[in-house]
Chains A and B, each alone.
Chain A
């Protein structure tokens, strides 16, 4: 029987079927569900690591011990892990080491759209690119075999449209499996696992030779095992493609000859040359960088069209691949797509902090420092602090960067104060090292840790701050305020996330603190956690509302404009949607005329 699985669910199943015994990851869209699903299979250990480098280091150690392993992360997470990644390519692996890189063309939930196939070239290890869930499942097993046969880390690269689309696979109910302890550690042949300069110099030529052997594997077994394949059609045009892009190419130009590369690095160049010789015109269709195209051109194989007709930026779709193949002379001119409705103007619907969100009262207060301080933000739901009505964020680049940016701004002589805003999970991910640096160098910055007791944006994953493990066991909880004090921060205050005045006061005190960085831990559980409790709903007393707009400035989706006009201003009074309100009281606290109260009071 067939069942629908997302690419991520299929990778989890494939990993379990391939005998992966240990997996580690840090959550990040679009990769998160891989470990969440893998964690449910029997006889395995699956963990959330505190960041992606830790996740990779975990699986390196497990692989050296002989376990089949998998680490999963989003594309920018690989940047965090890259230090170890580049060197584990030199040391080689023992048990299979599969790194899943989930790329995000179109930045649906990311800060850039880097193409992580480039890591495979830079690090000199193979990269597999499945085109649907069934392939994702199957490729994991083949990737594990390749990893062990060639003693190399292997990248399994997905993109959002693979990770988060569901397609049919043969269903399987997992049978019981025991967790097997590793055999005694084998030291023989393990000398290359200590990558001091002498070893690294010896290993480099061996890595280059391994890469040639992998290209030969791709040209032979890669085709025999269905990783790469040629679908012959009309031979006036031959299209080289890989990953999810293959689906667009086949749907639009399935009548032409297609060389589908399930392995995008290293390339089977002789097989590509043979394919090119048998077609009149060679076209390369790939998402993001001209990764395959450049290698084919560099090998002296003529390419008629590639990035001259296929977009370099953004996600590929049926529509833009159709346009590209039209420009390449393969398809007829596409019809004009329908126009948006002309008779109505549709207001935008940007994402917003949820009703009851524990970040709301903080950003309502942080707004006041917009002119006095430079506001360095970080990655999480609280990135939405940049949006109206708060617009309380001046810089944001990557996970954990807020504290380092604030520190650098202050130390370079910034005229304004600097306030960093970082979440609990991000603090453990990469906030502790820059805080240590700030304490050590004694910068007078304010660090606000928004501790909502969960990794929220990616869908409520646990982290060291909650102490619950991925497999649901009680781990050990780490207290953020205690960590900061132990690091030598002399001002550490905790404050209730929904207490508007208390946050105002503690921020003022923190700004006045002269001795090194000051840390404010804003504590309140995300509305999606069991720790969040609904309170009696708020309602507006329309006889009291004077349309001052204060409640709208807390940016709550539950606060709406009513139909009633306040004569003195001519503006619509506020009302509260009882379906959305959680009773968090932030709007009640900021209303200057007491027009907002609890229902039934």
Chain B
């Protein structure tokens, strides 16, 4: 049974990072632990980098973690996984969405978006495990591209010693009733990716 956990959610403004971290913090409470989370609002949100810390513990102090102490890095965008990789603790795990959102600095200058192979190799050097999720494609498969959140959280749930049902319930409490079914499908697709990865490694 988990008693302490630091998760760092990162992505690009508009990807639903804050909703996902809300749900992960709620799961901490549902597990009987204390939980806190941090958010980013305003200027940085406009297409910029968004980060949100989630911490579980018997008693949580700071709502943000320290660099080098994050157990799981939840990256909703591939480049952001690389940007935040130094927050991971040695032996930490990464769940990364393959989606690429090219920053303006690449369109407007000579900056280059590194290719996926290079990025994943670099991430692999830092993490004990990297779960790569094709979340947009799976969300389409589930029937709604807005289920990327659910798929990512489902993949996360497979990495932690927690009951899958707690995660699914926390997700379903947050989505409108009419989207319950599609999120249920998305949850199972995300679980399969997490479990598949763990079997292959």
Identity of the chain B residue whose Cβ is nearest the Cβ of A321 in the assembled complex: B62
In A153-181, the 8 Å CB interface with B consists of 161, 164-168
Binds A, one of B113-121, B161-169, B183-191: B113-121
A189 at interface by CB-CB < 8 Å:
no
Given A351-B46, A353-B46, is A317 in contact with B34 using a C-beta cutoff of 8 Å?
no
Give the bracket for the number of chain B residues in contact with chain A: 35 or more
Interface 1/0 per residue, A238-253 and B, CB below 8 Å: 0000001001101100
| A109 touching B47, Cβ below 8 Å | no
Among the listed B34, B44, B125, which residue makes an inter-chain contact with A109, where contact means beta carbons less than 8 Å apart? B44
B58 at interface by CB-CB < 8 Å:
no
B112 at interface by CB-CB < 8 Å:
yes
A30 at interface by CB-CB < 8 Å:
yes
Among the listed A3, A30, A254, which residue makes an inter-chain contact with B41, where contact means beta carbons less than 8 Å apart? A30
A458 CA to B45 CA, complexed, in Å: 10
| B63 touching A349, Cβ below 8 Å | no
* A164, A166, A337, A555 interface centre (most CB from chain B within 10 Å): A166
Among the listed A337, A340, A348, which residue makes an inter-chain contact with B111, where contact means beta carbons less than 8 Å apart? A348
| A165 touching B38, Cβ below 8 Å | yes
Among the listed B38, B60, B79, B86, which residue makes an inter-chain contact with A349, where contact means beta carbons less than 8 Å apart? B79
A318 at interface by CB-CB < 8 Å:
yes
In A123-178, the 8 Å CB interface with B consists of 132, 161, 164-168
| A108 touching B44, Cβ below 8 Å | yes
Interface 1/0 per residue, A1-33 and B, CB below 8 Å: 011101000000000000000000000011010
Chain B at the A interface: mostly helix, strand, loop or mixed?
mixed
| A346 touching B38, Cβ below 8 Å | no
Q: How far is the CB of B83 from chain A (nearest CB, A)?
A: 5
B201 at interface by CB-CB < 8 Å:
no
| B107 touching A351, Cβ below 8 Å | no
Binds B, one of A369-377, A381-389, A509-517, A592-600: A381-389
| B83 touching A165, Cβ below 8 Å | no
Among the listed A318, A345, A459, A555, which residue makes an inter-chain contact with B114, where contact means beta carbons less than 8 Å apart? A345
| A349 touching B43, Cβ below 8 Å | no
| B107 touching A168, Cβ below 8 Å | no
| B118 touching A344, Cβ below 8 Å | yes
Q: How far is the CB of A532 from chain B (nearest CB, A)?
A: 15
A502 at interface by CB-CB < 8 Å:
no
Among the listed A161, A352, A389, which residue makes an inter-chain contact with B63, where contact means beta carbons less than 8 Å apart? A161
Among the listed B12, B67, B113, B118, which residue makes an inter-chain contact with A337, where contact means beta carbons less than 8 Å apart? B67
Q: How far is the CB of A68 from chain B (nearest CB, A)?
A: 27
A439 at interface by CB-CB < 8 Å:
no
Among the listed A4, A339, A557, which residue makes an inter-chain contact with B22, where contact means beta carbons less than 8 Å apart? A4
A457 at interface by CB-CB < 8 Å:
yes
Identity of the chain A residue whose Cβ is nearest the Cβ of B85 in the assembled complex: A341
Q: How far is the CB of B137 from chain A (nearest CB, A)?
A: 13
* A335, A381, A561, A577 interface centre (most CB from chain B within 10 Å): A561
A32 CA to B43 CA, complexed, in Å: 13
A13 CA to B134 CA, complexed, in Å: 40
Identity of the chain B residue whose Cβ is nearest the Cβ of A3 in the assembled complex: B29
Report A-chain residues with C-beta under 8 Å of the C-beta of B25: 4, 166
In A536-565, the 8 Å CB interface with B consists of 552, 555, 557, 559-561
- With contacts A4-B22, A349-B12, A350-B104 known, what are 6 further pairs, Cβ within 8 A? A109-B42, A161-B63, A247-B62, A346-B83, A352-B47, A389-B108
Q: Which residues of A contact B (CB under 8 A)?
A: 2-4, 6, 29-30, 32, 108-109, 132, 161, 164-168, 244, 247-248, 250-251, 254, 317-319, 322, 335, 337-341, 343-354, 381, 383-384, 388-389, 457-459, 552, 555, 557, 559-561, 577
Q: Which 6 A-B pairs give the minimum distances between C-beta atoms?
A: A109-B42, A251-B61, A29-B42, A165-B63, A351-B48, A347-B111
